[in-house]
Structure 1
Amino acid sequence: MSGHVITVAQQKGGSGKTTIALNLAVAFHRRGLTVALLDTDPQGSLGRWFMTRVESGEDPGMEFSTASAWGVSYECDKLKRQADVVLVDTPPKVDADLRPALRASDLVLVPVATSQVDVWATESVLDLAGREGRETLVVLNRARPGTRIAIEVAQTIADLGVARAQTILGNRVVYAEALGQGKGVLERGKGAWAPEIEALADEVLAAAGAG
């Protein structure tokens, strides 16, 4: 049985794609799932995180690979024969280069930071995923629940008629700190971030058909 491919995509930079990908990877690994990461973003942030993890001297707990946009399908086919879950990080753009990653996916996660600009950027990703017939799940990230902008963004997403994760990731410094150390926030002890990531992991696995 092959693994499930989950691609994280968003046109706007700074939406938290890499942060979400690596924290889900850690969460899945801690549940006993075998995990592979595939970085298709030329910036290589996910790769830098992984190498920082390796250099700590501990078992990173997951496999890592890179691919150009057009090598994604081959790499995904290879990795999902080895892993229960393959997480794909993509560049902050939406064009023909994104299509191979979408086609290889069981689920497309679309992070949206709480600003109207992020919502506008989301529509093109959702449109492209829809054309490829792929399931999508919008994730509100760096949010301050209860604020007017968070409520407005959530309503705009609802008006688009797409699935949105019930879990909202807060605007917490610990996410950036953990990334810089080659860790996920679940490896930084217990705090408000832990139930957030665990709950999101539950939703993502269910939406990808891997739960």
Structure 2
Amino acid sequence: MVIVVGSQKGGVGKTTVATNLAAWLVAKGHEVLLVDADDQASASDFSAYREQTRGTTGYTLVQINGLLVRKQIEALRPKYDHIVVDTGGRDTTSQRAAMFVCDVFITPFNPRSYDLWTITKVSELVEEVQSMRTVPMMAYSFINRADVKSQDNRQVSEVLQGYESLAFLPHPLTNRKAFANSAGVGLAVFEMEQPDEKAVAEIEKLFNAITHASYTTTKAV
């Protein structure tokens, strides 16, 4: 399965989601390729810290940009159980190329009004790509860096549910220090010596929802 983590805005936590997802899939026993298709190369930085901490990443990392993203993913797909692609926080050639060959597109939104300003652009991009694909991809939205207690979460959820092109997943990732602390040493939240159980439970719910729903749809097609 090829899973793209993308957005039309930087700072929404794409790389945190992509790297935790890659590590989570490895922990489930899968062969995983992590594609860093973001010019900022944050996933590559994470992987460098990870290798220092663990001695190995557990997955294969490649950096690809531009139109080559599509060609290389198609060529590498048979070699891996899953490919996770971290793309930039804007409408780039790399992101579009990845979306044309992915099975799943996931996009995080922070519970802030200025982050939601991009939802229409993301929705239109998904619709445009879907119209040119022979087999549709699954596209999901979810809340990342959610407030622990705030009506903003509920309001953002209601807005996201209004976009049919993006299926809303009601499994938010809360704004917890555990995500930043683990990323700083190249680990997923569940790999820490004393993991934050709430953070671990959140990614389990989100990632299980993404992979389970996507497998079901793929089989149905």
Q: Which runs of 5+ in 2 are unaligned?
A: 131-136
User: After the TM superposition, which segments of 4 or more aligned residues of structure 1 sit over 6 Å from their partners?
Assistant: none
Give, in angstroms, the shift of residue 82 of structure 1: 1.6
Counterparts of 1:19-168 in structure 2, within 5 Å, are: 19-133=16-130, 134-161=137-164, 162-168=166-172
Partners in 1 of 2:113 and 2:72 — Cα distance?
Answer: 35
Distance 1:85-1:70 versus aligned 2 partners, 3 A rule = same
CA contact (8 A) 1:126 1:136 kept: no
Give, in angstroms, the shift of residue 172 of structure 1: 0.3
Give, in angstroms, the shift of residue 78 of structure 1: 2.9
Distance 1:63-1:97 versus aligned 2 partners, 3 A rule = closer
1:50-72 Cα distance to aligned partner (Å, 9 max, x none): 11112235221101001112111
What is the Cα-based RMSD across aligned positions, in Å? 1.7
CA contact (8 A) 1:9 1:125 kept: no
Partners in 1 of 2:58 and 2:94 — Cα distance?
Answer: 29
Partners in 2 of 1:117 and 1:145 — Cα distance?
Answer: 19
Q: Which runs of 5+ in 1 are unaligned?
A: none
- With normalisation by structure 1, the TM-score equals 0.92
Give, in angstroms, the shift of residue 207 of structure 1: 3.3
1:171 maps to which residue? Answer: 175
1:204 maps to which residue? Answer: 210
Distance 1:203-1:57 versus aligned 2 partners, 3 A rule = closer
Q: Percent identity?
A: 27
1:185 maps to which residue? Answer: 189
Give, in angstroms, the shift of residue 118 of structure 1: 1.4
